[in-house]
Structure 1
Amino acid sequence: MRRLVIALLFVPLITIAQKKQITLEDIYKNRIFQADKVPAFSELPLDSIINPGDVKDEKGKQLNSDDYQVSKDKKRIIFFTARESIYRRSSKANAYLFDAVSKKTIRLSEGKIMHASFSPDGSKIAFVKDNNLYLYDIPTGHTRAITSDGKWNYIINGNCDWVYEEEFEFTRAYEWSPKGNYIAYYRFDESRVKEYQFTIFDSLYNKQYSYKYPKAGEENSIVDIHIYNVSTGKEVKAQYEQGDIYIPRIKWTQDDNSLVVFWMNRHQDDLKLLLTNAQTGVSHVLYEEKNKYYVEINDDWWFLKDGKNFLFTSEMNGYRHIYLYSLDGKNKLQLTTGNFEVTDVNGVDEKNKMIYYTAASPTPMDRTVFAVDFTGKKNYQLTQTQGWNSVVLNGDFTQYYDYYSTINTPQVVTLYNISWNKNREISSKKIKVVNENARLVSKLNQYDLSKPEFIRIPNSKGDTLNGWVLKPVNFDPNKKYPLLFCNYGGPGSQQVANRFGAVNFWEQMLAERGYIIVSQH
């Protein structure tokens, strides 16, 4: 009897010690493995600027907005409601302008619009509707049509066609000049592009959808860049070589009269930056990069406030690094060097002439944050722990949040201070740990999870590729297991990374059920 009592006492302990099994409901429905969201340096919350109850639609009902945009002086806010997706990145929505001083709300336009944005001084709003670009003057309440020839499947003004949205990853196809005197916008003539049709099966009766979709080797849209003078209403067209080309970006310099048009041939192995006069449309080549294979397009271009120099990243030497060139072409500096990729430029401190950047170092699976000065001679490592470091800097570059994890360690968020010594050298010091994901760590301890391992995989050409393998918890090397190979061979999506979440919980669930999972990149 005594033995039976003792045995019964241990039954609850054994039950408590048993590990849980991962389910699809845990992962996708209940999302119990979701990490804490920790905001960094952010603007004041909306309810500290206005009373949400003051924002009402034309029927007097409180607006239930999907998103909003605040003017620089925080006196006016554009609210977007009933957002409707179009393609992967594009959408349209109802737009309302709220005046925080008068507490009045007006609808910017009947029907849904796209890409509403304030002018730099906050006195005007540009937006796109029905393939045309419009300008709304806030003091007078007058709306002016900048274009009038927009037509579905023929002409698009101020918004991207499908190719540019999908391949160059942007949708708003216009840019305000720094002082707001000009608007540079794209005009797509897609009249010669062939239409593609498909059926949408989302209701009782099917619908046919038709749009301009050029397949490989077929005609693309003809793209013109127009520069509109906001004061006079006159415009000029940027002058550049037409033909089978792309204009993957336009960017203003710090000079209100100087627009940079990015020109690229269709093979995408020749990129030219054309410095264009906003008054005449005349341009000349500011920078050109050629590659026998491919030139990468990104948004890492900064035209500095000194009006003399610009920063950019390029793979011209085989690795992506940071460069500083002068606008007159006389000075050309490579600021970072080494057999690694600069993956992000986190901030450019023009006052102290310092660039904060993230590099795939010490291995391609890791991310480490550095700072380099405008000469390239002073380079500082800010994050010291190997793994995946992702930082967010404050506006004056005196502090940063480091979001750190490894493939087997959930994210830890730490606040750091940046300081300068008398020799103008920088260093960082930990202020406090903001979040350690304690809830998630506690939850993970309830499961018997496998630990992924990094591996090297040889290929037929004699190279070795990075990968990871996830084995069942009680792996037996003498036993055969089913194998799942997870791979994405496309660009811009690193699958093998030393960060938490690189191995997802669906893959952990399969390993729990006796599968070996392998990924390679």
Structure 2
Amino acid sequence: MRKLIVALLFLPLLGQAQKKAITLEDLYKKGTFRGEFVPADFGTRSSEINTDGLKDEAGKALGRASEVIVNAADTSLALIRIDAEPIYRHSSKAILYLYHRGTGNVTKLENEKVLHPTFSPDGSKVAYVKDNNLYIYDIASAKATAITTDGKWNFIINGNCDWVYEEEFSFTQAYQWSPKGNYLAYYRFDESQVKEYNMTIYNNGYNQDYRYKYPKAGDDNSKVEIHIYDVRNGRKVKADYAQGDIYIPRIKWTQDDSRLVIFWLNRHQDNLRLLLTEAASGKSSLLYEEKNKYYIDIHDDWYFLRDGKHFLFTSEKSGYNQIWLYSFDGKTQLQLSSGNYDVTEINAVDEINKRVYYQTAYPRPMDRNFFVADFSGKKSTALTTGTGWNRIVLNDKFTQFYDYRSDINTPQVVTLHSIIADKKGYRAQVIKTVNESSKLREKMAEYDLAKGEFIRIPNSKGDTLNSWILKPANFDPSRRYPVLFCNYGGPGSQQVANRFGAISFWHQLLAQKGFIVVSVDNSGTGYRGEEFKKKTYLQLGKLEIEDQIDAAKWFGNLPYVDKSRIGHWGWSFGGFMSSLAITKGADVFSAAIAVAPVTSWRFYDNIYTERYMRTPAENQKGYDDNAPMNFTNSIKGKYLIIHGTADDNVHFQNATQMITALVKSNVDFESAYYPNKNHGISGGPDNTSFHLWSKMTNWILENLGTEKK
């Protein structure tokens, strides 16, 4: 009997021991933990177009489409993009076909690949960019008209962005149809005076020299003009605004077909003007102006209302990012949302009922909840509550929404809700649960996974830093564990988020290998108000790495942490932070991996860098006092630097110059480079992703852990 009791006592342990350990193959070959895609279906989706059986005019099969764009004005027509070819991180060109769903006819619009195809609002025309020129194709006459003819690679761009606008102002299609389609407003970039950067593309012959325009900090930008084309008569006018060393980060049409809003931004990015521009003449007048003692973030939360008298937007001018309603004449200036938290997104504007739907970083910066406010500015109501992350998709009538809710340890649950507005106010009511990620939950149950926790860590300046910690599932407080910091830390970013995926399955793999994994959102990160985010102004890296060092010291004093084995890992800005950790933080960090790091802000593009640092001529000390390559002689621990040789964003130059400094300081280091890989350093068929993550994992085990794979 006693033997039976003992055996029964050990049954739970045996069950736990039988759980699987995560492998790198699970993550980077098998897709073991891939979640389900759950579309927001309100019963109004048009039938999907299957392109597999379609053939072109010569009878050749089109093959699988890269994208299908349905004509909103006439759903029998669609544009089909085939064989898409990436240009930079956010843009691509493809062969373009017009598909007549009723007849089955497929027409190739151009023999060459084109960018940014769109239907006109009335559905009668198609605009696109080819060879740096803008075209309009008339569907009825099957005729294409060149709106511009001066486009030339590395000189003039029409209707498409130059590299730095695409990367830092987050748009690529540089033209917009007016609401009725009578006008087409477009950008013209003259990049002839922008300096070229060249990269070697390696092949089996003599290699290829690739050159493109990339303005580094302090250098000249493209000269930007906005032109407005009258589709009816072919007349063009140039928009009239103050020229000089400026940016035009957005253009947006009002609901009036004849009035365009041009966003004018000075080079320091601390003065934003909205210019109301007449389409027929190009003449403009000041609609709105905002100045900031630091800088102004550019976003798309601008809505010009149908009444032609009001516009709605978000701004940090109250100290937190909040929603404002202004009239065109400036007499109405209402703040519609309030509180010591940031609005993170405007989901929709219901002009008929005078409501705005939005999401906030509430009740904590790492959470997201869904709110509605009326246009009076007197009433704001939460439609979701509690801690967690709610991603919302509304229907067109603003009567229902899908809520994709998760938290740091729980996969998403998708629910459909109705929105009720009556005398009692606003509220949401669950209609049904659509998906509970059952397959993923069942798969996760097979593995020995740990639970993440949120903690707040004090820094040496009186702030507390939001953090998460992942301890091994079999955590033993009497042991001393190595710690790995996983950090990005750039301006306005957030890694400490209460959503599933903030702690990745790679983090779980490391925890299974005996690591405590942590992430700390340092000074300069987002969703804690303007002052916390912008306190790093003019000194990128200084306060950020001081916070990481403070956090490492705090962890080092915990009884279950081995303070001699604290490492730091990061990518891009995170690689910059890891490089600072092993240099300026050499007394607390014993190892660091920097992937695609910035090693001096002098090497990075001017729009991003100068937003936070101004130019090198204005702020030499800010650039040099926190450049990792200037502090290599401080390194005491192990350092691994990784870069793709074809990184068009953070150039491979950053790695070569860092390594030059390491050699000069006689510092031992390890490096890995991936030929012809860009900033993402990825690839399945060529094994790049698996190789990269295997290398990093094994290096961490060898230099911080006690266990080898």
Give the TM-score range, shorter chain: over 0.9
Q: Secondary structure at the match of 1:296?
A: coil
Is residue 387 of structure 2 the alignment partner of residue 386 of structure 1?
A: yes
Q: Which residue of 2 aligns with 1:138?
A: 139
Mark the CA change 1:255 to 1:43 in structure 2 (over 3 Å): closer, same or farther: farther
Q: Which residue of 1 aligns with 2:57?
A: 58
Q: Which residue of 1 aligns with 2:433?
A: 433
Is residue 468 of structure 2 the alignment partner of residue 468 of structure 1?
A: yes
Q: Which residue of 2 aligns with 1:496?
A: 496
Is residue 511 of structure 2 the alignment partner of residue 511 of structure 1?
A: yes
Amino acid at match of 1:61: K
Q: Secondary structure at the match of 1:482?
A: strand
Whole-angstrom distance in 2 between the partners of 1:335 and 1:11: 59
Whole-angstrom distance in 1 between the partners of 2:15 and 2:430: 42
CA offsets 1:381-415 (integer angstroms, 9 cap, x no match): 11123211111111101111111111111111111
Q: Shift in Å at residue 457 of structure 1? A: 1.7
Whole-angstrom distance in 1 between the partners of 2:340 and 2:453: 24
Q: Shift in Å at residue 41 of structure 1? A: 3.0
Whole-angstrom distance in 1 between the partners of 2:221 and 2:463: 38
Amino acid at match of 1:57: D
Q: Secondary structure at the match of 2:19?
A: coil
CA offsets 1:346-400 (integer angstroms, 9 cap, x no match): 1111111111111001000111111000111121111123211111111101111
Of residues 347-356 and 424-433 in structure 1, the stretch that sits farther from structure 2 once superposed is 424-433
Amino acid at match of 2:119: F
Mark the CA change 1:336 to 1:202 in structure 2 (over 3 Å): closer, same or farther: farther
Q: Shift in Å at residue 60 of structure 1? A: 1.0
Count of aligned pairs: 516
Of residues 254-263 and 470-479 in structure 1, the stretch that sits farther from structure 2 once superposed is 470-479
Amino acid at match of 2:151: G
Q: Shift in Å at residue 468 of structure 1? A: 0.7
Whole-angstrom distance in 1 between the partners of 2:80 and 2:50: 14
1:307-322 → structure 2 map (5 Å cutoff) = 307-322=308-323
Contact 1:358 1:369 survives alignment (8 Å): yes
Q: Which residue of 2 aligns with 1:449?
A: 449
Mark the CA change 1:287 to 1:202 in structure 2 (over 3 Å): closer, same or farther: farther
Of residues 231-240 and 203-212 in structure 1, the stretch that sits farther from structure 2 once superposed is 203-212
Mark the CA change 1:478 to 1:54 in structure 2 (over 3 Å): closer, same or farther: closer
Whole-angstrom distance in 1 between the partners of 2:280 and 2:156: 24
Q: Which residue of 2 aligns with 1:114?
A: 115
Is residue 68 of structure 2 the alignment partner of residue 68 of structure 1?
A: yes
Whole-angstrom distance in 2 between the partners of 1:74 and 1:43: 16
Q: Which residue of 2 aligns with 1:344?
A: 345
Contact 1:41 1:393 survives alignment (8 Å): no
Q: Secondary structure at the match of 1:228?
A: strand
Mark the CA change 1:43 to 1:187 in structure 2 (over 3 Å): closer, same or farther: farther
Q: Shift in Å at residue 101 of structure 1? A: 2.7
Greater fraction strand: 1
Q: Shift in Å at residue 44 of structure 1? A: 6.2
Is residue 280 of structure 2 the alignment partner of residue 279 of structure 1?
A: yes
CA offsets 1:291-315 (integer angstroms, 9 cap, x no match): 0101010000000111111110011
Whole-angstrom distance in 2 between the partners of 1:283 and 1:49: 43
Amino acid at match of 2:331: K
1:180-191 → structure 2 map (5 Å cutoff) = 180-191=181-192
Q: Shift in Å at residue 51 of structure 1? A: 6.5
Contact 2:507 2:517 survives alignment (8 Å): yes
Q: Secondary structure at the match of 2:290?
A: strand
Is residue 26 of structure 2 the alignment partner of residue 31 of structure 1?
A: no
Contact 2:16 2:448 survives alignment (8 Å): no
Q: Shift in Å at residue 55 of structure 1? A: 3.0
CA offsets 1:304-330 (integer angstroms, 9 cap, x no match): 111111110011111100000001111
Amino acid at match of 1:59: A
Unmatched tracts of structure 2, length 5 or more: 522-709
Greater fraction helix: 2
Contact 1:49 1:74 survives alignment (8 Å): no
Q: Which residue of 1 aligns with 2:608?
A: none
Q: Shift in Å at residue 420 of structure 1? A: 2.1
Q: Shift in Å at residue 56 of structure 1? A: 1.6
Whole-angstrom distance in 1 between the partners of 2:451 and 2:103: 59
- Please tell me the root mean square deviation across aligned C-alpha atoms, in Å: 2.1
Q: Which residue of 1 aligns with 2:487?
A: 487
CA offsets 1:146-180 (integer angstroms, 9 cap, x no match): 00000111100000000100110110000000000
Contact 2:363 2:386 survives alignment (8 Å): no
Whole-angstrom distance in 2 between the partners of 1:497 and 1:84: 34
Whole-angstrom distance in 1 between the partners of 2:18 and 2:330: 68
